[in-house]
Amino acid sequence: MTVHFHEEDLPAGVFGPNGEGSGDLAVDTETMGLITPRDRLCVVQISDGNGDEHLVRFGPNSSYDAPNLKAVLADKTRTKLYHYGRFDLAAIEHYLGVEAGPVFCTKIASKLVRTYTDRHGLKNLVEELLGESISKQQQSSDWGGPDISEAQRDYAASDVRFLHRMRDELNKRLVREGRDELAQACFDFLPTRARLDLAGWPDHDIFSHS
């Protein structure tokens, strides 16, 4: 297991020539805060589930001209695995200008099948589904500083390290409970939900009567 750190873009060919390869990709982001247009994108994490994680860091004056990363994220033949993909999709579309789908969101899947609990955080899922533990100590650290610490790098990598195995376990439960088609419909809608957030409807349910 190796964490690879890159500045401003992925090296060419990391996940296949011209960004075209095979296999699903786990994706996450680190930003300066939770308001996407205000709080810039600092790091994109990505892994193919084979043991290595790649972190791409963007500086404060970045143009976000990252053709290799964009090609990988925009590849429609590879499902992107997220935990709370709604936020990551919005950040990626706003700053990198691509729709990073198709989508599988472990948080949505968890809410559909783990109805016996209200604990759907990544740490909870890793512990219950995989019997492992992760630290969230660096969750609120400064991702925009000139240096990213080893602790920050390991934290960022851990956000994508477990998503392939979690997806596989959650898929089994979705099928078992007969909710796999409902989950897929939610995943298909998620990029649109992210665009609604960006367009000014982050907290309002436009499907509600009021």
| Per-residue 3-state assignment (H helix, E strand, C coil) for 75-114 | CCCCCEEECCHHHHHHHHHHHHCCCCCCEEEHHHHHHHHC
pTM of the model: 0.94
pLDDT at residue 174 is higher than 70: yes
Domain boundaries, the chain: 2-199
Q: What percent of the chain shows pLDDT beyond 70?
A: 96
What's the rounded mean pLDDT across residues 84-96? 98
pLDDT at residue 179 is higher than 90: yes
pLDDT at residue 128 is higher than 60: yes
pLDDT digits (tens, 9 = 90+) for 161-170: 999 999 999 9
pLDDT at 18: 65
Rounded alpha-carbon distances, angstroms, from residue 100 to 118, 149, 173: 28, 27, 25
Band (134; pLDDT cuts 50, 70, 90): confident
pLDDT at residue 19 is higher than 60: no
pLDDT at residue 157 is higher than 90: yes
Name which of 104-113, 137-146, 173-182 the model is least confident about. 137-146
CATH of domain 2-199: 3.30.420.10
**CA 104 to CA 110: how far, in whole Å?**
11
